[in-house]
Amino acid sequence: MPKDTDYYANPTDIPAGTLAELLLDAVEEHGDRPAYGGPGDSGLSYAEVQDHARRGAGALRRLGLGRGERAAILSENRLEWALADWSCLAAGVADVPIYSTLPPYQVAYILEDSGAALVFVSDAEQLAKVRAAAAGLTHDIRIVVFDPTAAEGDAISWPDFLAMGDDSELSECVAEARQAEPDDVATMIYTSGTTGRPKGVMLTHANLTSNVRATERAIEIGTADSSISFLPLSHVLQRMVDYLLFARGCTVTHGSIETVADDMKRLRPTLLVSVPRLYEKVYQRVQGAAGLKGRLVAWATGVGRRVALCRESGVPPGLWVRMRYAVADRLVFARIREAVGGRLRFFVSGGAALAPEINRFFLGAGVTILEGYGLTETSPVTNVNTLEHFRIGTVGRPVPGTEVRIADDGEILIRGPQVMKGYHGQEEATRAAISEDGWFSTGDIGELSEDGYLSITDRKKDLFKTSGGKYIAPQQIENMLKQCAFVEEALVIGEGRNFPAVLVAPAFERLEAWASEAGIRGERAELVADSGCQEQLQREIFASVEELAPFETPKKIGLIVEPFDVEAGTLTPTQKVRRSAVQAMYAELIETMYRPESLDKTVFVA
C-alpha cells in the first residue's frame, strides 16, 4: 500500500455494476423482507418495490420517456420518491432531483438545463411551483403528483401513473433494466457554483454502485439494520446510503428533520446518517439544562470526556474513572441513548464539519458518530471513519478503491470509481475539475496522516456550508445585495452556523438623503444606530434578496460604518474582499449576532 503524507490509497478492485442490477439482485435475495416502512402496514417488501418499479417504468414508456431521457423529482422524502427513482432506473431514464425548498426560478433553471421531459412533484405547493416554472420552459413537460388529492388539470396522480404501467410484463421490465451500462448516466444532481448557475453533476450507474460497494466493505451492515431516511434525497448522501441499505436487505422509513427526534424513539433505528446540525441540536439541548440538572450534566460531560479520550488513545480508564462513569452513565448517558431509540449502533455525520468536542461528547455518552467526507461529484463518499478505524477530528481513511492526494497548495484531490462523469453541458468546468489522469479537485484544503486519516482544514473554493450541510454561495448573494441602492458593501457569513447572516456597509449618500427626508439627522455612526434608519435598511436589504431560497437568505444584518479598505487589510490590492480579515475585524459583532439571546433581533451595529 503506497503511502507518504501527500498520498494515501486504499486499493481494491470494485466491480463496475449498475443500480438496476443492484435493485434486481436485492429483490432476489430479500424478496419478502420489508424494504420501506410506512405508517401502519403501508410499508413495502422488496418484491413489492420491484413491482412498483415495473409499473412505473411501464408508465414512463407509455408517456414516451425512454433510455437516455430525463425526469425530475421535486419532493420531500417519501416512499414515492424512492419508487419514482427505481422506476426511472428500471426504464433507463436518468432522474434529476430538485430540493423542495428551491424557489420557482431555480426550479425553472434546472428543468430547462436538464431537459427533463417529466417531473414528479409531491403536493399542491410543489405543483404550483412547477406550473410557474413551466411557463418559461422551451420544452413541454408532463407532471405526476404523488399526493393524489393535489392532481389537477393535466397533471397525473401517482396512482393513475402507476395504473398506466399495470399491464407491462416483469420479464420485459427486467430485460430493459439489465440493458443499463455501468457508464450510463443514472442521475444528474444540481450543485451550487461559486458564481453563475448551478451545475448538473452527472453520476453514472458505476459511480453510485461503486460507492455502495466501497462503503459496505468499510462498514458492516446487515438485514437486522434499520434506518430513517430524513436528509433530503435530493442530496446524494442520503440517496447513496439508501441504496446501500437496500442492497443489504435493511428496512428504511422515510422521514424529515422536523420529525426525526420523535421518529427515532418510535422506530428505534440501528443506524442513522445526518448532517452535523442534528448532533449539535442534541448536544445543545443536553448542555442547556439549568440548575441541579445542569450541574449534573456538566459533571457527567467531564467524566464522559475522560473516558472518550481513553478510548481514542486505546488506554483503558482507571478504576476511579470507571466508577464515576457508571454513575454518569446511569444518570445522564443512558437517557441520551434512550432518546435516540436505544438500539442505535452508530450515527454517520457528513456534508459539513462536525466539531470534535461534540463528537467526543457523544463517544463519552456511548454513542459513536462516524464522520465521513465527500462531495456530490464523488457520489459522495471518499473517506469515512469506521468502527475499527476511528479518529475524532478526521474524516477517516479513504474507502476501498479510492486514492487521496494533497496538492502542493494543500487542496484535496480524489481519484476513484466514484468520481463523476462530468458537469452536464459544461466541458470547460469539467476539465477544470478533473485532470486528464482522473484526479478530481475538491476545492477543500486538507492534511493526511501517515496512516491515511484525512482532516479537512480549510476551503479553497468560495463556498461554505451551514451546519445543516446547505451550501451558501456568498458571492452570488453579495452581488444581489450590492444591487440595492442602500448597500455599499456586503459580506455573507455563516460557515458552520445554523443560518447565514450579512455584514453591510450602507451606501451613506443614499441613506443620508433618505434620512434627511425623514427628518433624521446625525453622523454616520448615529444613522446606523437610529431605529428609523435601521428599519429602512432592513426593508431594502431583504427586498434585494427576496428571490433567494429561505435557507440561503441572511437572517441577521450587521451594520458597519467603514467600507472595506486596502489599508485596513480588508481588501486586497486588487480590490478583492479578504473574507477572513473582515470576519476577524468584526468578530465581536458576529458573535453577538449568533448568540441565542439575539434570536428575536435582526439588525445589529458594530
Binding site for ligand AMP (CB under 6 A): 191, 350-353, 371, 373, 375-376, 380, 395, 442-444, 456, 465, 471
Distance CA(269)–CA(251), nearest Å, equals: 9
Distance CA(147)–CA(75), nearest Å, equals: 10
> Minimum distance between the CB of residue 456 and ligand AMP, rounded to whole angstroms?
4
Instruction: Name which of 203 and 260 has its Cβ closer to ligand AMP.
Output: 203
> Minimum distance between the CB of residue 461 and ligand AMP, rounded to whole angstroms?
7
Does residue 411 contact residue 439 with C-beta atoms inside 8 Å? no
Strand duo 44-45 + 199-204: pairing? unpaired
> Minimum distance between the CB of residue 351 and ligand AMP, rounded to whole angstroms?
5
Q: What radius of gyration, in Å, describes the C-alpha atoms of the chain? A: 26
DSSP-derived 3-state class of residue 119? strand
Within 8 A by CB and 6+ apart from 571, the residues are 564, 565, 577, 578
> Minimum distance between the CB of residue 54 and ligand AMP, rounded to whole angstroms?
32
Look up cell 439627522; give the residue: 521
Question: Which helix (H) or strand (E) is 492 found in, with range?
Answer: strand 487-493
> Minimum distance between the CB of residue 471 and ligand AMP, rounded to whole angstroms?
6
Q: What is the dihedral of CA 6, 457, 462, 105, to 10 degrees?
A: 110
Residue type, 435: S
Distance CA(89)–CA(162), nearest Å, equals: 15
Distance CA(417)–CA(399), nearest Å, equals: 11
Instruction: Name which of 90 and 413 has its Cβ closer to ligand AMP.
Output: 413
Question: Which helix (H) or strand (E) is 190 found in, with range?
Answer: strand 185-191
Task: Supply the angle between the helices 19-30 and 170-178 in degrees, to the nearest 10.
Answer: 140
Look up cell 404523488; give the residue: 146
> Minimum distance between the CB of residue 412 and ligand AMP, rounded to whole angstroms?
8
Distance CA(92)–CA(352), nearest Å, equals: 32
Instruction: Name which of 441 and 602 has its Cβ closer to ligand AMP.
Output: 441
Instruction: Name which of 173 and 214 has its Cβ closer to ligand AMP.
Output: 214
> Minimum distance between the CB of residue 177 and ligand AMP, rounded to whole angstroms?
28
Instruction: Name which of 392 and 487 has its Cβ closer to ligand AMP.
Output: 392
Residue type, 374: G
Does residue 212 contact residue 18 with C-beta atoms inside 8 Å? no
Instruction: Name which of 87 and 349 has its Cβ closer to ligand AMP.
Output: 349
Instruction: Name which of 186 and 352 has its Cβ closer to ligand AMP.
Output: 352
Instruction: Name which of 444 and 552 has its Cβ closer to ligand AMP.
Output: 444
If one counts every other C-beta atom within 10 angstroms of the C-beta of residue 292, the result is: 8
Instruction: Name which of 444 and 489 has its Cβ closer to ligand AMP.
Output: 444
Instruction: Name which of 307 and 392 has its Cβ closer to ligand AMP.
Output: 392
Task: Give, in order, the Cα–Cα distances in Å from 352 to each of 39, 125, 345, 372, 564.
Answer: 31, 29, 22, 9, 29
DSSP codes joined into one string, 544-587: HTTTS-GGGS--EEEE-SSPP-TTTTSB-TTS-B-HHHHHHHTH
Closest CA to 111 of 200, 196, 235: 200
Instruction: Name which of 122 and 394 has its Cβ closer to ligand AMP.
Output: 394
All cell numbers assigned to 510: 443614499
Instruction: Name which of 76 and 411 has its Cβ closer to ligand AMP.
Output: 411
> Minimum distance between the CB of residue 172 and ligand AMP, rounded to whole angstroms?
36
